[in-house]
Structure 1
């Protein structure tokens, strides 16, 4: 595995074969995909830290979904990848959907974990408030991390998987405050993509205790897509690849195998 700095982005590139672009969500990093790396052993895995997240610079501001789409499309082209399979989590699934609509020639398939079309209107003010809290610095980031560990993981994860709680907490606590704040604002402003225009096959994976991507919403998403399947993971919250890595890897591997 090697990390390259590409136009200010830290990008992990590993393996050979058809390319898979991995897009993490809010508070995530390329490490969101480490637990499912075995499913991608026969692919070239391209896993950037998004602008303002983890090790990447805040390469443009203010952050927006449209801007993230352009950054990722430019990355795909700069690396000479042609078209890619896209794997994404949470906020990254919104970016992935917009990428598939705006640049369909770049997207071969979508595997979306904890997927959402856009935040519900009632939830947007709280996301904006989180952005303002994040700007208060490291103490506030710990407060945010603790709240997310409490609210976005399953009861089984809380009682049986303490290492997962630590991993989620560490991911969020180590985010740059301003980058995280602007990522929150990008999420709060996100608008739905035109799902009916996505022709690529789509895998939708959510947890039965995912309050961000509840099962009913994910199933409704699937009805708007031309070629979609839904998998619901038992005992799982929103941090799917960390909470249920074996199941996520199995579902991802099987999905990609069907496309070969």
Structure 2
């Protein structure tokens, strides 16, 4: 399985998209409000091929999170592999999402911490400034780990299975099919670009909580996420 980052600007995605019907929905004004916490992440990346450096843009997703009652949000969470080839610090990482008034918000972001590999495929970034809760939606962090007996939803920026325009798409009410300490598998569909997007679950009171970060999948009916329980202690340090 591979990560779900999308490589653009002349590079070919490493995994073809599924020709099967796409069960995901495209976000619209009628979609759940929590989806507005997920934004697109553009990462300037660099690789060396045959001794020559090539520059390209890695398209991923990220989620704006906050501590309950804080009033502002400045921390986003994405996947480690989205930043794997980010080397030129003079070129900023850019996070974009829709504000409550539907206007586009675009801010630069700086990495604070990450898991260091696909075995811990998470990364935490700080935006250039905080966003007031009256301006944009952010998600509270699940206080434990996702309950395997309850459904989860996944959301991220990607194209459709047929290759149509990249936009925010989501798959609701998926099942967790396996759960380990540092990863969990689901039957959600996640395509290229979804990497770093949100996995959510509703609490007993109906609150949508950030429960993990999308890591990889086969674009058909298998996807894997890193539960927030695997990096909550680190995340909480930056949410203070």
Q: What interval of TM-score do these two structures reach, taking the shorter chain for normalisation?
A: under 0.3
When the two structures are superposed, what TM-score results if normalisation uses the length of structure 1? 0.25
More helix by share: 1
When the two structures are superposed, what TM-score results if normalisation uses the length of structure 2? 0.26
Structure of higher RCO (CA pairs closer than 8 Å, 6+ residues apart): 2
